[in-house]
Every structure is written in C-alpha cells, then in structure tokens.
Amino acid sequence: MVKSNKSQIDEYISEFNLDYNKRVLSSSMTKDKINKNISISGWLAKKRDHGNMIFIDVRDHKGIIQCIIDKNHEKFEEIEKLNVESVIWINGLATARPKESINEKIDSGYIEIKVDSFVILSKSETLPFALHQEDIGEEIRLKHRYIDLRREDLKNRIILRSNVISEMRSALEEKGFIEIHTPILTSSSPEGARDYLVPSRANKGKFYALPQAPQQFKQLLMVGGFNKYYQVAPCFRDEDSRADRTPGAFYQLDLEMSFVSQEDIFEIMEGLLYRIFSKFRSDVFSSKPPFKRIKYQDSLMLYGTDKPDLRIDLQYLDFTEFFVENTPKIFEQVLQDGGKILCLPVNNLSSKSRKFFDGMNDFARELGAKGLGYICLSPEKKGSMSKFLSDEVCNKIKEKADGAFFLAGKFSEIVKCMDPIIKKISKEMDLIKKDRYEFCWIIDYPMYEMDDNGKWDFSHNPFSMPQGGMSAFDLDPSEIKAYQYDIVCNGIELSSGAIRNHDLDIMYKAFDVAGYTKSEVDEKFSAITEAFKYGAPPHGGSAPGIDRIVMLLSDMQNIREVIPFPLNQSGQDLMMNAPSEIEESQLKDLGLQSIKED
C-alpha cells in the first residue's frame, strides 16, 4: 500500500529527527555559522560532479546554499542520480569556503556545508524546461507556471507586487482610509466591456455578473457615511488581450472619498504614486507632485492620444493657418474638407538618410495616412516638402528644430496615426529618455461621444458629474465636459477616476442625453437612484491598476510577467484547463442547455 505524503513526512521527522523550526535559511548563512551544525532544506538547484565529491546548490526562498558530499558518503550514489529540482533536507557542518570559492554576491557566499545526513523529501521528474533557459515559449511556461515561478526574476517580481500592495495600504491608512471588501457576485453594469456572467441555481434563468469594478458599491459606501474607502479589488472584464491588459481578472487599488474636489483626489493620488515609485525604483527619476495637467483635447492635438509618453519630447503643431492664403496643390483638398495640416518638429532630422524618410512615409501609409512629408533645414533646405514651404513656415520650424514631418487630412483620420508616428520616430532616433517615470493627468474629458449610429453615448463613466452641473445641459452635448480624469505614466494609463454625480436630477438629465428614460435608469441602477433619495454627499475617487504599476516598476513590456497565474492571450488557463466543458448534470441544476455550434 502506498503511504500518504503526510505519513512519509512523519516518518522522516521521526527517523531523521527533522525539526523544521531549526531550519536555517540561506539569508542567515553568514560567517557566524562557521563550525556549527546546520540543517537546511529546499530544492536541488544544481549539481557539479568533481569525481571524489559532488557540489550541490540548494535553493530556498531566500537564495542558494552550497553543500559538499564526499564519495565515501553512503548517500553519494543516490544524490548522484537525483534529478535537479527535487526537494531535499540536509544536515551538516558549516565550514568556510576556500578563498578561491568565495562568492561575495550572495549572503551565503562565504560558507559551504559538508553533508552529514541527507533526506529526499520529494523527487522531481525531468523538468519540461530548465530554469535558466531563456528561449521558452509562453504557452509552456503558463502550463507549468509553478515551475516558472521558481525562476529568480519572476519570483522577485511577484515579491515586488506584494511589497507594493503593502506600501499602498500603509499610505492610504495613514491618510484615514479604511479597507472594505465589496461583493464579487453582483449585477451587470455598463462599464464598457463585456461581463463574465454566473448563472444562478436558486434563481433559474437569472445571472450574476462578476464586477468590472466596484463602482456602484463604493459610491453606496459614501452614501452610507464612510468618508474614505479603499480596497485591493479584483475586477473582471471579458476583454481581448494586449501587452498591458490581460483577459480575465486584474487588480486595482480602488478608492473613494466624500466631500472632495478633483484637486483633493489629485493630491492623494500624486502623493501615493510618488511614494510608490520613488521607494521601489529609487534609481529612476519620478515626477514630483504636482503632476502636469493636460486637457483631453490638447493631448489629442499635441500627441494624437490621451496616453502621451512624456519621456518623448515631440509635439505636433497646427500649421493649417500658414496655408490658408497660399495653398499648395497638395493641401487644397485637405483645406476644402476642413482638415488640418500638422507639423512635427524633430531635432537632428537633417542627419537622417533618404531610406529613413522613405520608411517613415511607408509606415504612415500603413497606418492609413496619405503620406508623411518631411523637410530638413540644415545645412540647406531639402526634402519632399521643401518646395511647398514658405520662408515664414521654415523659420517657424527652426524655432523648434532643424527639420520636421508633415501630416495632413481630416483630423478624425490622422489622429489615429499621430501617436504611432511619434513612437516610431522616437524608437528609430533613440529619443526616449530612459530611466524616468513621467506622470501626467489628462483632464476635461468630454461627457459624451457620438457612436457609430449617430447617437450620443457616455465617453467615460456614466456616473460622472458634468462640469457646471445642470447648467452644462444648456450646451450642445459635444461641448459638455465632465469631471473625469486619467493618470498616465510613460504612455500607459494607470488609473481613471471622476467626481461623481450625486444629484439625482442632474443624473437623470445626463442619462436622458444618452437616450435613457427615467424609468430605465431606475431599473438599471436601482440601488444608486434609491440610495441617492436619502442624502448623498459629493464624492469622487480613482482606481490605479496594480498590475500596470508593477509592470512599470519592473521594466516589463508584458503584463503577464507580473501576475502569478495569468491567462494566456486567448483567455485560457493552460495549467488548470479552464475554461472547460461541464457535466450535463451541472447544466441541468442551473437550468441551462449546451448548444453545439455547427
């Protein structure tokens, strides 16, 4: 009969007198342990056979300890045959390493253990990949994530994540915030993504939704009289994967405050983010509060995006006015269509080759632009735009740089090209200022945007307060701004937030513009509309993404590298085989039927 693992461990403890409380960690293996009897345990990380002896590196969660076993030891052959990554227990005498073997880079680098007793706690089969191997496909890493997590760099990122969350909690609690956990099973909400739905067994035909964010709950906490709330909140959105977004769950530091203005929230957030980034990356420059504020429309005009990377010192200039009176033929149709002519000054452009400019033109065309003109002004005027630009225009460019690119067309079309062009140029010309975190706020978001059907819809959170309150609705919907804001770092959106709409009359009016009747609002958001009848304080908040913050702090380009057990790009958990089909009996309990696609 095969004994349970617990029985085997109990036998080990009895037979070999294993006392886990006396286990010494690698980080404690300092010179004062020399000539002392030591017990260690961990994974067999490496073996080096020198004929008369075997050197063993044992890895615990703190580091590496080197051990030596002589060929005369009764366990020599057993260790010789043992696979790496087996879990072992060793007892022996700690001795000083020979001078030539000292490793000053690790805590235990002055010591090695001469093995006396040796116990195999768990044998490992041959690994599907070596821990030091770099050319490993992501799929196999995710399938065996428990092995992948043993790799030093990934393990350190997960520890960093833990430390960041701990620091966040401390920072907020020092400011009087309290942690409150909100429900995971809730109702569907219009957060902009698809919901993950959970069928109810007790209420057949009805579904819960996993929260895309704790939006309504945190507002209801403010109505309930909790002045400052936060939680490390799991959020569930059925979205497609990309480098800075993983399907399934992500975590955000959700916070909300009562009786605050937009500036009050900025002050809290700026202090929090500066504290986190300056503590965990003290080697890198971080923007100090107050962070730069950029209006949404200005950000689009200057950078072509509401997520500008301020490490890149490039901005578009609107040169349309310079071509109104004397319009070159290439711009006639642009101006007739009400388009714009944008100039992007770039220093040292005159040093670039024709191949570079042709490549940039091809890149712009691939993005949907009609082309990307250029001019170089040093030492002489040359380039595809040279014969179309007046001295006035050239002198204007010289105030900024020695050359420039030109992009023209309807703004709604060329805006999609602007940010990729900036990023392409900055990469090709090495213009990104490395080793720095540049933060900015994007403010004054439009309350509404026109959808594909010509209908007004909310551009951000529907519960945001319009600037000007009820009087905002005297304006055309396209002109209404909201107290909505994003915080961006190095071109990555870390957080969205808003001052909330706490006035029911204003809320009904806001939803009316988006095509909702009062009864529809009451039906969809019954908890909010009912609660606001009984006194709702002005309130607002934000929710920085923890995964993205750790990704930035650890210089990772892929968000899955900072999540312990992420889904793959297709939203699958290869390790747990999820999602999976379920038994017919389970479907029956839920009142569901599986329909096979043809």
- Give the residue carrying structure tokens 């002055």: 110
User: Is residue 56 a known part of a binding site?
Assistant: no
493 annotated as belonging to a binding site for a ligand: yes
Helix (H), strand (E), coil (C) string for 396-443: HHHCCCCEEEEEEECHHHHHHHHHHHHHHHHHHCCCCCCCEECEEEEE
**Residue pointed to by tokens 């995964």:** 547
Task: Mark 454-486 as b/e (b = at least 16 C-beta within 10 Å).
Answer: eebbbbbbbbbbbbeeeebbeeebeebbbbbbb
Q: Which residues contact 194 (CB under 8 A, 6 or more apart)?
A: 237, 238, 239
399 is in an annotated binding site: no
> Do the beta carbons of residue 244 and residue 551 sit within 8 Å?
yes
First to last CA, the chain: 49
Q: Is 547 known to sit in a ligand binding site?
A: yes
Please answer whether residues 71 and 86 qualify as being in contact, where contact means their C-beta atoms are separated by less than 8 angstroms.
Answer: no
How many other CB atoms are there within 10 angstroms of residue 521's CB atom?
Answer: 20
The answer to whether 178 and 159 are in contact (CB under 8 A) is no
**Alpha carbons 53 and 101: distance in angstroms, whole number:** 15
Q: Residue 415 to residues 195, 300, 320: CA-CA distances in angstroms?
A: 30, 7, 15
539 is in an annotated binding site: no
Encode burial over 584-598: b for 16+ CB neighbours within 10 A, e otherwise: eeeeeebeeeeeeee
Residue 88 annotated in ligand binding: no
Rounded to 10 degrees, the C-alpha dihedral 356/358/360/362 comes to -150
Give the C-alpha distances (Å, rounded to integers) separating 271 from 78, 165, 175, 320, 483.
Answer: 57, 15, 11, 40, 20
Q: Does residue 345 sit in helix, strand or coil?
A: strand
Tokens of 326: 């004397």
545 is in an annotated binding site: yes
CB 341 within 8 A of CB 323: yes
| Contact predicate 392/322, CB 8 Å | yes
Q: Could you tell me how many residues make up the chain? A: 598
Query: Do residues 536 and 530 touch, judged by C-beta distance below 8 A?
Result: no
Instruction: Establish whether 239 is an annotated binding residue.
Output: yes
Instruction: Tell whether 358 is in a known binding site.
Output: no
**Residue 547 to residue 247: CA distance in whole angstroms:** 12
Residues 250 and 236: their CA atoms lie apart, in Å, by 7
Can you say which residues are annotated as belonging to the binding site?
Answer: 191, 237-239, 460, 493, 500, 545-548
Can you say which residues are annotated as belonging to the binding site for L-aspartate?
Answer: 191, 237, 460, 500
Can you say which residues are annotated as belonging to the binding site for ATP?
Answer: 237-239, 493, 545-548
